[in-house]
Structure 1
Protein backbone atom coordinates (compact mmCIF):
# COMPACT_ATOMS: atom_id res chain seq x y z
CA UNK A 1 0.00 0.00 0.00
CA UNK A 2 2.91 2.34 0.77
CA UNK A 3 4.48 1.56 -2.59
CA UNK A 4 1.18 2.39 -4.33
CA UNK A 5 1.06 5.72 -2.46
CA UNK A 6 4.63 6.56 -3.48
CA UNK A 7 3.92 5.52 -7.06
CA UNK A 8 0.77 7.67 -7.14
CA UNK A 9 2.59 10.70 -5.71
CA UNK A 10 5.52 10.54 -8.14
CA UNK A 11 3.31 9.83 -11.15
CA UNK A 12 0.73 12.56 -10.40
CA UNK A 13 3.39 15.15 -9.57
CA UNK A 14 5.31 14.36 -12.74
CA UNK A 15 2.17 14.74 -14.86
CA UNK A 16 0.95 17.98 -13.26
CA UNK A 17 4.32 19.78 -13.05
CA UNK A 18 4.85 20.84 -16.70
CA UNK A 19 3.72 24.33 -17.77
CA UNK A 20 0.42 23.46 -19.43
CA UNK A 21 -2.79 25.36 -20.12
CA UNK A 22 -4.39 24.39 -16.80
CA UNK A 23 -1.40 25.46 -14.71
CA UNK A 24 -0.95 28.72 -16.60
CA UNK A 25 -4.60 29.67 -16.17
CA UNK A 26 -4.61 29.00 -12.41
CA UNK A 27 -1.34 30.86 -11.87
CA UNK A 28 -2.56 33.72 -14.05
CA UNK A 29 -5.81 34.08 -12.12
CA UNK A 30 -3.94 33.97 -8.83
CA UNK A 31 -1.80 36.86 -9.99
CA UNK A 32 -4.65 38.92 -11.48
CA UNK A 33 -7.28 38.79 -8.75
CA UNK A 34 -7.36 41.57 -6.14
CA UNK A 35 -7.48 39.05 -3.26
CA UNK A 36 -6.47 35.38 -3.08
CA UNK A 37 -9.95 34.31 -2.00
CA UNK A 38 -11.25 35.47 -5.40
CA UNK A 39 -9.25 32.73 -7.13
CA UNK A 40 -10.88 29.94 -5.10
CA UNK A 41 -13.55 29.25 -7.79
CA UNK A 42 -10.73 28.41 -10.23
CA UNK A 43 -8.80 26.26 -7.77
CA UNK A 44 -11.83 24.32 -6.53
CA UNK A 45 -13.22 23.76 -10.03
CA UNK A 46 -9.90 22.50 -11.41
CA UNK A 47 -9.39 20.27 -8.37
CA UNK A 48 -12.89 18.80 -8.57
CA UNK A 49 -12.54 18.19 -12.32
CA UNK A 50 -9.21 16.43 -11.80
CA UNK A 51 -10.78 14.38 -9.02
CA UNK A 52 -13.55 13.34 -11.41
CA UNK A 53 -11.15 12.47 -14.23
CA UNK A 54 -8.80 10.49 -11.99
CA UNK A 55 -11.69 8.60 -10.38
CA UNK A 56 -13.18 7.71 -13.76
CA UNK A 57 -9.76 6.66 -15.03
CA UNK A 58 -9.02 4.39 -12.09
CA UNK A 59 -12.46 2.80 -12.25
CA UNK A 60 -11.96 1.63 -15.80
CA UNK A 61 -13.16 4.29 -18.25
CA UNK A 62 -9.66 4.53 -19.71
CA UNK A 63 -10.03 1.24 -21.58
CA UNK A 64 -13.28 2.42 -23.18
CA UNK A 65 -12.19 5.95 -24.16
CA UNK A 66 -8.78 5.01 -25.53
CA UNK A 67 -10.31 2.16 -27.50
CA UNK A 68 -12.83 4.27 -29.45
CA UNK A 69 -11.26 6.39 -32.20
CA UNK A 70 -14.12 8.89 -32.67
CA UNK A 71 -14.08 9.81 -28.97
CA UNK A 72 -10.39 10.69 -29.18
CA UNK A 73 -10.95 12.75 -32.36
CA UNK A 74 -13.91 14.58 -30.79
CA UNK A 75 -11.85 15.39 -27.70
CA UNK A 76 -9.03 16.74 -29.85
CA UNK A 77 -11.32 18.92 -32.00
CA UNK A 78 -13.13 20.31 -28.95
CA UNK A 79 -9.81 21.00 -27.28
CA UNK A 80 -8.42 22.82 -30.32
CA UNK A 81 -11.43 25.14 -30.61
CA UNK A 82 -11.43 25.81 -26.89
CA UNK A 83 -7.71 26.64 -26.79
CA UNK A 84 -8.02 29.07 -29.71
CA UNK A 85 -10.89 30.91 -28.01
CA UNK A 86 -9.26 30.93 -24.60
CA UNK A 87 -5.97 32.13 -26.04
CA UNK A 88 -7.78 35.07 -27.65
CA UNK A 89 -9.58 35.95 -24.39
CA UNK A 90 -6.34 35.77 -22.40
CA UNK A 91 -4.44 37.85 -24.96
CA UNK A 92 -7.06 40.61 -24.78
CA UNK A 93 -7.41 40.64 -20.97
CA UNK A 94 -5.62 43.35 -19.00
CA UNK A 95 -4.72 43.52 -15.31
CA UNK A 96 -6.90 45.80 -13.21
CA UNK A 97 -5.87 48.08 -10.41
CA UNK A 98 -5.05 46.41 -7.08
CA UNK A 99 -8.20 47.63 -5.36
CA UNK A 100 -10.62 46.29 -7.94
CA UNK A 101 -11.62 42.80 -8.97
CA UNK A 102 -10.85 41.74 -12.52
CA UNK A 103 -14.27 42.04 -14.10
CA UNK A 104 -13.23 40.04 -17.17
CA UNK A 105 -12.96 36.94 -14.96
CA UNK A 106 -16.03 36.87 -12.75
CA UNK A 107 -16.54 33.79 -10.53
CA UNK A 108 -18.93 32.30 -13.11
CA UNK A 109 -16.45 32.83 -15.94
CA UNK A 110 -13.61 31.49 -13.78
CA UNK A 111 -15.57 28.30 -13.12
CA UNK A 112 -16.47 27.90 -16.81
CA UNK A 113 -12.88 28.43 -17.96
CA UNK A 114 -11.39 26.22 -15.25
CA UNK A 115 -13.82 23.42 -16.09
CA UNK A 116 -13.06 23.81 -19.80
CA UNK A 117 -9.31 23.81 -19.16
CA UNK A 118 -9.69 20.54 -17.28
CA UNK A 119 -12.45 18.69 -19.14
CA UNK A 120 -11.80 19.91 -22.72
CA UNK A 121 -8.03 19.69 -22.53
CA UNK A 122 -6.97 16.52 -24.39
CA UNK A 123 -3.58 16.51 -22.64
CA UNK A 124 -5.21 16.51 -19.20
CA UNK A 125 -7.61 13.76 -20.27
CA UNK A 126 -4.86 11.61 -21.75
CA UNK A 127 -2.71 12.15 -18.64
CA UNK A 128 -5.44 11.10 -16.24
CA UNK A 129 -7.30 8.48 -18.25
CA UNK A 130 -4.37 7.23 -20.31
CA UNK A 131 -1.46 7.29 -17.87
CA UNK A 132 -3.02 7.21 -14.38
CA UNK A 133 -5.84 4.89 -15.48
CA UNK A 134 -3.41 2.49 -17.12
CA UNK A 135 -1.03 2.58 -14.14
CA UNK A 136 -3.86 1.75 -11.75
CA UNK A 137 -4.53 -1.55 -13.56
CA UNK A 138 -1.68 -3.15 -11.63
CA UNK A 139 -3.49 -2.53 -8.32
CA UNK A 140 -6.71 -3.80 -6.80
CA UNK A 141 -8.88 -3.27 -3.73
CA UNK A 142 -7.58 -0.96 -1.01
CA UNK A 143 -4.24 -0.55 -2.79
CA UNK A 144 -5.97 0.84 -5.88
CA UNK A 145 -7.99 3.25 -3.72
CA UNK A 146 -4.77 4.42 -2.02
CA UNK A 147 -3.15 5.03 -5.40
CA UNK A 148 -6.18 7.03 -6.57
CA UNK A 149 -6.50 9.14 -3.40
CA UNK A 150 -2.82 10.11 -3.45
CA UNK A 151 -3.07 11.18 -7.10
CA UNK A 152 -6.12 13.31 -6.24
CA UNK A 153 -4.39 14.89 -3.20
CA UNK A 154 -1.41 15.89 -5.33
CA UNK A 155 -3.76 17.76 -7.71
CA UNK A 156 -5.49 19.64 -4.89
CA UNK A 157 -2.26 20.63 -3.15
CA UNK A 158 -0.63 21.67 -6.43
CA UNK A 159 -3.51 23.90 -7.55
CA UNK A 160 -3.77 25.62 -4.16
CA UNK A 161 0.00 26.17 -4.06
CA UNK A 162 0.09 27.45 -7.64
CA UNK A 163 -2.63 30.01 -6.95
CA UNK A 164 -0.83 31.23 -3.82
CA UNK A 165 2.46 31.68 -5.69
CA UNK A 166 0.59 33.52 -8.44
CA UNK A 167 -0.99 35.82 -5.87
CA UNK A 168 2.38 36.62 -4.25
CA UNK A 169 3.89 37.51 -7.62
CA UNK A 170 0.81 39.57 -8.48
CA UNK A 171 1.26 41.62 -5.29
CA UNK A 172 4.91 42.29 -6.12
CA UNK A 173 3.97 43.48 -9.62
CA UNK A 174 2.24 46.77 -8.79
CA UNK A 175 2.69 48.12 -12.33
CA UNK A 176 0.82 45.20 -13.91
CA UNK A 177 3.49 44.80 -16.60
CA UNK A 178 4.43 41.29 -15.53
CA UNK A 179 0.81 40.16 -15.56
CA UNK A 180 0.31 41.68 -19.00
CA UNK A 181 3.39 39.83 -20.25
CA UNK A 182 2.16 36.64 -18.56
CA UNK A 183 -1.19 37.00 -20.37
CA UNK A 184 0.60 37.19 -23.73
CA UNK A 185 2.79 34.20 -22.85
CA UNK A 186 -0.24 32.23 -21.68
CA UNK A 187 -2.06 32.95 -24.94
CA UNK A 188 0.96 31.86 -26.99
CA UNK A 189 1.19 28.59 -25.02
CA UNK A 190 -2.52 27.94 -25.63
CA UNK A 191 -2.24 28.65 -29.36
CA UNK A 192 0.93 26.56 -29.58
CA UNK A 193 -0.85 23.67 -27.89
CA UNK A 194 -3.77 24.03 -30.32
CA UNK A 195 -1.38 23.90 -33.30
CA UNK A 196 0.30 20.82 -31.84
CA UNK A 197 -3.07 19.13 -31.46
CA UNK A 198 -3.95 19.98 -35.08
CA UNK A 199 -0.84 18.15 -36.26
CA UNK A 200 -1.65 15.21 -33.96
CA UNK A 201 -4.95 14.77 -35.83
Structure 2
Protein backbone atom coordinates (compact mmCIF):
# COMPACT_ATOMS: atom_id res chain seq x y z
CA UNK A 1 0.00 0.00 0.00
CA UNK A 2 1.49 3.28 -1.10
CA UNK A 3 0.30 6.88 -1.46
CA UNK A 4 -1.77 6.00 -4.56
CA UNK A 5 -3.68 3.37 -2.56
CA UNK A 6 -4.57 5.87 0.17
CA UNK A 7 -5.55 8.44 -2.44
CA UNK A 8 -7.90 5.91 -4.03
CA UNK A 9 -9.32 4.97 -0.65
CA UNK A 10 -9.94 8.61 0.24
CA UNK A 11 -11.51 9.41 -3.12
CA UNK A 12 -13.66 6.29 -2.91
CA UNK A 13 -14.95 7.16 0.56
CA UNK A 14 -15.68 10.74 -0.47
CA UNK A 15 -17.78 9.62 -3.42
CA UNK A 16 -19.58 6.63 -1.95
CA UNK A 17 -20.72 8.03 1.41
CA UNK A 18 -23.04 10.57 -0.21
CA UNK A 19 -26.73 9.67 0.07
CA UNK A 20 -27.78 7.88 -3.08
CA UNK A 21 -29.91 5.12 -4.51
CA UNK A 22 -27.45 2.30 -3.76
CA UNK A 23 -26.91 3.37 -0.16
CA UNK A 24 -30.62 3.78 0.56
CA UNK A 25 -31.35 0.33 -0.86
CA UNK A 26 -28.54 -1.40 1.05
CA UNK A 27 -29.69 0.29 4.27
CA UNK A 28 -33.29 -0.78 3.68
CA UNK A 29 -32.34 -4.40 3.03
CA UNK A 30 -30.13 -4.40 6.12
CA UNK A 31 -32.94 -3.05 8.30
CA UNK A 32 -35.34 -5.66 6.97
CA UNK A 33 -32.69 -8.38 7.30
CA UNK A 34 -33.51 -9.56 3.78
CA UNK A 35 -30.50 -10.55 1.65
CA UNK A 36 -28.47 -7.64 3.05
CA UNK A 37 -25.07 -9.29 2.49
CA UNK A 38 -26.01 -10.36 -1.03
CA UNK A 39 -27.14 -6.81 -1.80
CA UNK A 40 -23.92 -5.34 -0.38
CA UNK A 41 -21.82 -7.85 -2.32
CA UNK A 42 -23.55 -7.06 -5.63
CA UNK A 43 -23.09 -3.30 -5.13
CA UNK A 44 -19.43 -3.72 -4.14
CA UNK A 45 -18.61 -6.08 -7.02
CA UNK A 46 -20.31 -3.78 -9.55
CA UNK A 47 -18.35 -0.83 -8.18
CA UNK A 48 -15.11 -2.84 -8.41
CA UNK A 49 -15.76 -3.81 -12.03
CA UNK A 50 -16.67 -0.24 -13.01
CA UNK A 51 -13.62 1.19 -11.25
CA UNK A 52 -11.42 -1.32 -13.08
CA UNK A 53 -13.10 -0.41 -16.38
CA UNK A 54 -12.39 3.27 -15.74
CA UNK A 55 -8.75 2.58 -14.96
CA UNK A 56 -8.18 0.66 -18.20
CA UNK A 57 -9.68 3.43 -20.32
CA UNK A 58 -13.47 2.97 -20.44
CA UNK A 59 -13.94 6.47 -19.01
CA UNK A 60 -12.34 7.97 -22.10
CA UNK A 61 -14.60 5.89 -24.34
CA UNK A 62 -17.74 6.98 -22.47
CA UNK A 63 -16.75 10.64 -22.79
CA UNK A 64 -16.23 10.21 -26.54
CA UNK A 65 -19.54 8.34 -27.10
CA UNK A 66 -22.16 10.52 -25.37
CA UNK A 67 -24.98 8.21 -26.46
CA UNK A 68 -23.87 5.65 -23.86
CA UNK A 69 -24.33 8.06 -20.96
CA UNK A 70 -27.54 9.40 -22.47
CA UNK A 71 -29.05 5.93 -22.57
CA UNK A 72 -27.97 5.24 -18.99
CA UNK A 73 -29.38 8.61 -17.90
CA UNK A 74 -32.93 7.95 -19.12
CA UNK A 75 -32.99 4.30 -18.03
CA UNK A 76 -31.72 5.30 -14.60
CA UNK A 77 -34.28 8.08 -14.23
CA UNK A 78 -37.13 5.70 -15.08
CA UNK A 79 -35.88 3.09 -12.61
CA UNK A 80 -35.43 5.62 -9.79
CA UNK A 81 -38.88 7.14 -10.45
CA UNK A 82 -40.49 3.70 -10.26
CA UNK A 83 -38.71 3.00 -6.96
CA UNK A 84 -39.71 6.43 -5.56
CA UNK A 85 -43.38 5.80 -6.34
CA UNK A 86 -43.14 2.40 -4.68
CA UNK A 87 -41.63 3.94 -1.53
CA UNK A 88 -44.32 6.65 -1.37
CA UNK A 89 -47.04 4.03 -1.75
CA UNK A 90 -45.56 2.02 1.13
CA UNK A 91 -45.34 5.15 3.30
CA UNK A 92 -49.01 5.97 2.72
CA UNK A 93 -50.20 2.44 3.45
CA UNK A 94 -52.38 1.89 6.52
CA UNK A 95 -49.66 -0.21 8.18
CA UNK A 96 -46.29 1.13 7.09
CA UNK A 97 -44.29 -1.67 8.73
CA UNK A 98 -46.27 -4.44 7.06
CA UNK A 99 -46.11 -2.57 3.75
CA UNK A 100 -42.35 -2.15 4.10
CA UNK A 101 -41.85 -5.85 4.72
CA UNK A 102 -44.16 -6.80 1.89
CA UNK A 103 -42.35 -4.44 -0.49
CA UNK A 104 -38.99 -5.95 0.41
CA UNK A 105 -37.47 -8.33 -2.08
CA UNK A 106 -38.43 -11.87 -1.07
CA UNK A 107 -36.22 -14.30 -3.04
CA UNK A 108 -32.49 -14.12 -3.56
CA UNK A 109 -32.85 -13.90 -7.35
CA UNK A 110 -35.12 -10.86 -7.05
CA UNK A 111 -32.69 -9.36 -4.52
CA UNK A 112 -29.84 -9.92 -6.95
CA UNK A 113 -31.69 -8.28 -9.85
CA UNK A 114 -32.79 -5.32 -7.72
CA UNK A 115 -29.24 -4.69 -6.50
CA UNK A 116 -27.97 -4.93 -10.08
CA UNK A 117 -30.59 -2.38 -11.11
CA UNK A 118 -29.45 0.10 -8.48
CA UNK A 119 -25.82 -0.50 -9.40
CA UNK A 120 -25.98 -0.49 -13.20
CA UNK A 121 -29.02 1.67 -14.08
CA UNK A 122 -27.76 4.67 -12.14
CA UNK A 123 -25.68 7.04 -14.29
CA UNK A 124 -24.21 8.64 -11.16
CA UNK A 125 -22.41 5.35 -10.52
CA UNK A 126 -20.75 5.55 -13.95
CA UNK A 127 -19.81 9.18 -13.45
CA UNK A 128 -18.25 8.45 -10.05
CA UNK A 129 -16.51 5.16 -10.81
CA UNK A 130 -15.73 4.94 -14.51
CA UNK A 131 -15.21 8.59 -15.37
CA UNK A 132 -14.12 10.39 -12.19
CA UNK A 133 -12.13 7.66 -10.45
CA UNK A 134 -10.95 6.37 -13.84
CA UNK A 135 -9.68 9.82 -14.84
CA UNK A 136 -7.91 10.49 -11.55
CA UNK A 137 -6.47 6.99 -11.26
CA UNK A 138 -5.52 7.03 -14.93
CA UNK A 139 -3.00 9.79 -14.23
CA UNK A 140 -0.89 7.29 -12.33
CA UNK A 141 1.48 4.97 -14.13
CA UNK A 142 1.25 1.24 -13.50
CA UNK A 143 1.53 -0.24 -10.83
CA UNK A 144 0.43 2.89 -8.92
CA UNK A 145 -2.75 2.91 -10.98
CA UNK A 146 -3.53 -0.57 -9.65
CA UNK A 147 -2.86 0.62 -6.10
CA UNK A 148 -5.26 3.54 -6.62
CA UNK A 149 -7.94 1.16 -7.90
CA UNK A 150 -7.45 -1.23 -4.98
CA UNK A 151 -7.88 1.68 -2.57
CA UNK A 152 -11.13 2.79 -4.21
CA UNK A 153 -12.42 -0.80 -4.27
CA UNK A 154 -11.54 -1.20 -0.57
CA UNK A 155 -13.63 1.89 0.22
CA UNK A 156 -16.59 0.39 -1.62
CA UNK A 157 -16.30 -2.98 0.14
CA UNK A 158 -15.97 -1.44 3.60
CA UNK A 159 -18.85 0.96 3.08
CA UNK A 160 -21.46 -1.40 1.63
CA UNK A 161 -20.77 -4.27 4.04
CA UNK A 162 -20.52 -1.84 6.97
CA UNK A 163 -23.87 -0.34 6.00
CA UNK A 164 -25.55 -3.73 5.57
CA UNK A 165 -24.22 -5.10 8.85
CA UNK A 166 -24.59 -1.86 10.81
CA UNK A 167 -28.25 -1.60 9.84
CA UNK A 168 -28.93 -4.65 12.05
CA UNK A 169 -28.13 -2.50 15.09
CA UNK A 170 -30.89 -0.08 14.11
CA UNK A 171 -33.48 -2.79 13.38
CA UNK A 172 -35.13 -2.73 16.86
CA UNK A 173 -35.70 1.01 16.56
CA UNK A 174 -37.28 0.49 13.15
CA UNK A 175 -39.79 -2.00 14.58
CA UNK A 176 -42.31 0.88 14.78
CA UNK A 177 -44.55 1.61 11.76
CA UNK A 178 -44.16 5.39 12.17
CA UNK A 179 -40.38 5.15 11.79
CA UNK A 180 -40.75 3.03 8.65
CA UNK A 181 -43.18 5.58 7.26
CA UNK A 182 -40.56 8.32 7.72
CA UNK A 183 -37.86 6.14 6.13
CA UNK A 184 -40.09 5.36 3.15
CA UNK A 185 -40.88 9.06 2.69
CA UNK A 186 -37.18 9.96 2.86
CA UNK A 187 -36.25 7.14 0.48
CA UNK A 188 -38.95 8.15 -1.99
CA UNK A 189 -37.87 11.79 -1.82
CA UNK A 190 -34.19 10.94 -2.42
CA UNK A 191 -35.07 8.70 -5.37
CA UNK A 192 -37.40 11.32 -6.85
CA UNK A 193 -34.78 14.07 -6.56
CA UNK A 194 -32.16 11.83 -8.18
CA UNK A 195 -34.54 10.88 -11.00
CA UNK A 196 -35.41 14.53 -11.71
CA UNK A 197 -31.75 15.57 -11.54
CA UNK A 198 -30.89 13.04 -14.24
CA UNK A 199 -33.33 14.43 -16.82
CA UNK A 200 -33.55 18.11 -15.84
Secondary structure at the residue paired with 1:95?
A: helix
Segment of structure 1 superposing worse, 7-16 or 80-89 = 80-89
Deviations 1:60-86 (A, max 9, x none): 100001111211211111111111111
Tell me the TM-score normalized by structure 2: 0.89
1:148-167 mapped onto 2 (5 Å cutoff): 148-167=149-168
1:109-124 mapped onto 2 (5 Å cutoff): 109-124=110-125
- Separation in 1 of the partners of 2:57 and 2:87? 35
**1:39–1:102 Cα change, 3 Å:** farther
2:42 aligned with 1:45: yes
Secondary structure at the residue paired with 1:173?
A: helix
Report the alpha carbon displacement of residue 91 of structure 1 after superposing the two structures with TM: 2.8
- Separation in 2 of the partners of 1:164 and 1:177? 23
- Separation in 1 of the partners of 2:49 and 2:42? 11
**Could you tell me whether the CA contact under 8 Å between 1:31 and 1:169 is conserved in 2?**
yes
Secondary structure at the residue paired with 2:24?
A: helix
1:1-201 mapped onto 2 (5 Å cutoff): 2-33=2-33, 38-93=35-90, 94-96=96-98, 104-106=104-106, 107-199=108-200
- Separation in 1 of the partners of 2:89 and 2:112? 19
Report the alpha carbon displacement of residue 103 of structure 1 after superposing the two structures with TM: 6.6
Where in structure 1 do 4 or more consecutive aligned residues deviate above 6 Å?
A: none
The alignment covers a number of residue pairs equal to: 193
Unaligned runs of 5+ in 2: 91-95
Segment of structure 1 superposing worse, 46-55 or 104-113 = 104-113
Indicate the RMSD between aligned Cα atoms, in angstroms.
1.8
Secondary structure at the residue paired with 2:175?
A: coil
**Could you tell me whether the CA contact under 8 Å between 1:95 and 1:179 is conserved in 2?**
yes
- Separation in 2 of the partners of 1:90 and 1:46? 20
